[in-house]
Structure 1
Amino acid sequence: MKKQLKADLALLLVTVVWGTTFVITKNALKDIPTYNFLSLRFILAFLFSAIFFYKNMKNTNTKTLLYGTLIGSVLFAGYAFQTLGLNYTTASKSGFITGFSVVIVPIVSALLLKRMPKGSSIIGVLFAIVGLGLMTLNTDLTFNIGDFYTLLCAFAFAFHIILVGKYTTQVDSIALAVIQIGVVGVLSLIFSFTTSKPFIIPTTTDIWIGIFITGILATSGAYIIQNTMQKFTSPTHTALIYTAEPVFSAIFAFILLGEVMSTKGIIGSILIVMGMILAEI
């Protein structure tokens, strides 16, 4: 099996895991504040990763710390906006709007490389914008605040994919992933203590199960896989694989939460997926 095919299959597995997190996170946010949840999730992921990959962490240098801090800060912005958005929008809508990041990746990549996007990319963006409007705009053509936060998260995740693709070949990819996870945990903890609500240590099993699933599988495992596998594929190719994430999020939201999209929402989600694929081909 070719290295790129192995990388693609591994990244597809990541999208399945991430598809479940929208439902898990939305349920957890009923009982625990946003940054409180993020800090527990990412600190747990960091401790697990640092212990499991201590040999990689021993060789961490200044360049790895610098790149990890930069990428981790962008990743924190993505999760902060996404988790805030989930307080005000549905898990399925959040999944599709987050998936809009894969449309942004080829456009930003083209701008950074100072090349005009291909016609298919432009058409894909137009499809996705129309789809996003159908999914998120109310009858008076206004954004739900949760949808707006989630759109900001999509831009942050797009830059995260690009930055990982740029720097993961220059340093130890596992150490880079662990550092960025730690940065998200520290920033989340700082924001948690500076908000009005007190820091909460969960006492229910359901929340801890959610923290372990999102922390160990969806954070530690997923980002180490992404950082390692992106050596063998491009940021644009990675983004194309991630088009499956909103589909999985909608499936899990329907099965676990009973969320059913409106006809307008279904048409919008189809247009977004079509736009994603057109932008990446």
Structure 2
Amino acid sequence: MKKQWVADTCLLFVAFIWGATFVLVQNAISFLEPLSFNGVRFLLAGLFLLTWLLIFHRPQLKMWNVSLLLSGAFMGFWLFSGYAFQTIGLLYTTSSKAAFITGLSVVLVPLFAFFLLKQKPKANAIFGVLIAVIGLYLLTMNGELSVNKGDLLVFLCAVSFGMHIVMTGKYSSQFPTLLLTITQIFTAAIFCVISAFFFEDWTQMLNGAVLQKAEVWSALLITSLLATAFAFLVQTNFQRYTTATRVALIFAMEPVFAALTAYIWANERLTTSALIGCLLILLGMILAELPISFSIRKKFSSNRQMTQ
């Protein structure tokens, strides 16, 4: 139980990092297109972790094998797919709808975990998921219920992020954390760079004038080290001690942290419904953490014994 609480706390910190860097990324991609930005970001993160491996953990190099490479590449593929579908989908839909639909991975993860990993979610986790989804709607949506092709693409993004969480849970206990993280990050970097070559002006990745802009290099430095290298290293290491459903609920806090940091740093105002949404997402996460289902069963059993 102690390891699970430590894991959940560390993963919540990861969600905070992702949410807190949202404004930084938003500013940077006005100069460097999204796939190009992520290509450079993942590449820098991979090089940093590879350097760390060569200096401090060189003996682990002997543990690299085909199974590890394939597992890490599979995780990296889903990671890239999430960013790619979200980026393309945003061309056809609003950011608020994209944020809500992406957050629906919190619903998909328990389903994927049940069918792929045979992890049956507890009753309180399911209840927490439903409350979090309502909170996501209130936080991100403005009464928009229409569906277009951009929404479908972003839904594929939610599927991809959900699969990434589930696959991380599957492979994190089978292979060394650092090697698995490096493999998935380099895989995502390669796919991002290739996609940028076909769908964006990839030359901007090599444009010194663009990379020297404070908004770009500061965002690349912070996101590559904190939001990528550190964050995915933490997720890969600690997810083995918790369930995929709990991870999805914890990561549902990312838009909450994004909204709060936007309020503090960018002076963006939160509506009443957005504030209620933030509270519901937090409540959903807390409910999933509490052993409610166990308590109910225990109380029911006690009452049943008393009546017999």
Superposition TM-score tier, normalisation by shorter sequence: 0.7 to 0.9
Using structure 2 for the length normalisation, give the TM-score: 0.77
Using structure 1 for the length normalisation, give the TM-score: 0.83
Task: Give the drift of 1:207.
Answer: 0.5
Does structure 1 retain, via aligned residues, the 8 Å contact 2:132–2:249?
Answer: no
Between the aligned partners of 1:104 and 1:34, the Cα distance in structure 2 is 25
Does structure 2 retain, via aligned residues, the 8 Å contact 1:26–1:86?
Answer: no
Does structure 1 retain, via aligned residues, the 8 Å contact 2:36–2:200?
Answer: no
Which structure 2 segments of 5+ residues have no match?
A: 291-308
Between the aligned partners of 2:94 and 2:18, the Cα distance in structure 1 is 17
The alpha-carbon distance between structure 1 residues 129 and 248, as it changes in their structure 2 partners (threshold 3 A), is: closer
Identity of aligned residues (%): 42
Task: Give the drift of 1:60.
Answer: 0.9
134-143 or 76-85, which deviates more:
134-143
1:27 is the counterpart of 2:27:
yes
The amino acid that maps onto 1:232 is Y
Task: Give the drift of 1:154.
Answer: 2.5
Q: Larger C-alpha radius of gyration, 1 or 2? A: 2
Other-structure match for 2:259 = 250
Does structure 2 retain, via aligned residues, the 8 Å contact 1:76–1:188?
Answer: yes
Task: Give the drift of 1:57.
Answer: 3.9
Encode CA deviations 1:159-200: one digit per residue, 9 max, x unaligned. 111101111111222111110000000000001111252421
The alpha-carbon distance between structure 1 residues 164 and 77, as it changes in their structure 2 partners (threshold 3 A), is: same
The alpha-carbon distance between structure 1 residues 125 and 240, as it changes in their structure 2 partners (threshold 3 A), is: closer
27-36 or 259-268, which deviates more:
259-268
1:174 is the counterpart of 2:183:
no
Other-structure match for 1:69 = 73
Task: Give the drift of 1:247.
Answer: 1.6
Does structure 2 retain, via aligned residues, the 8 Å contact 1:102–1:276?
Answer: no
Other-structure match for 2:40 = 40
177-186 or 135-144, which deviates more:
135-144
194-203 or 178-187, which deviates more:
194-203
Encode CA deviations 1:13-41: one digit per residue, 9 max, x unaligned. 21111111221111111111121111100
Task: Give the drift of 1:278.
Answer: 5.5
The amino acid that maps onto 1:244 is M
198-207 or 78-87, which deviates more:
78-87
Does structure 1 retain, via aligned residues, the 8 Å contact 2:97–2:144?
Answer: no
Encode CA deviations 1:49-74: one digit per residue, 9 max, x unaligned. 11111323442100001101111000
Between the aligned partners of 2:147 and 2:268, the Cα distance in structure 1 is 20
For the residue of structure 1 that corresponds to 2:21, the secondary structure is helix
1:208 is the counterpart of 2:217:
yes
204-213 or 113-122, which deviates more:
113-122
Does structure 2 retain, via aligned residues, the 8 Å contact 1:127–1:272?
Answer: yes
Between the aligned partners of 1:205 and 1:134, the Cα distance in structure 2 is 34
Encode CA deviations 1:230-264: one digit per residue, 9 max, x unaligned. 22222233233323322211111222223334445
Which structure 1 segments of 5+ residues have no match?
A: none
135-144 or 202-211, which deviates more:
135-144
Other-structure match for 2:111 = 107
Encode CA deviations 1:183-229: one digit per residue, 9 max, x unaligned. 00000000111125242132312211101111111101111111111
Does structure 2 retain, via aligned residues, the 8 Å contact 1:103–1:275?
Answer: no
257-266 or 73-82, which deviates more:
257-266
119-128 or 168-177, which deviates more:
119-128
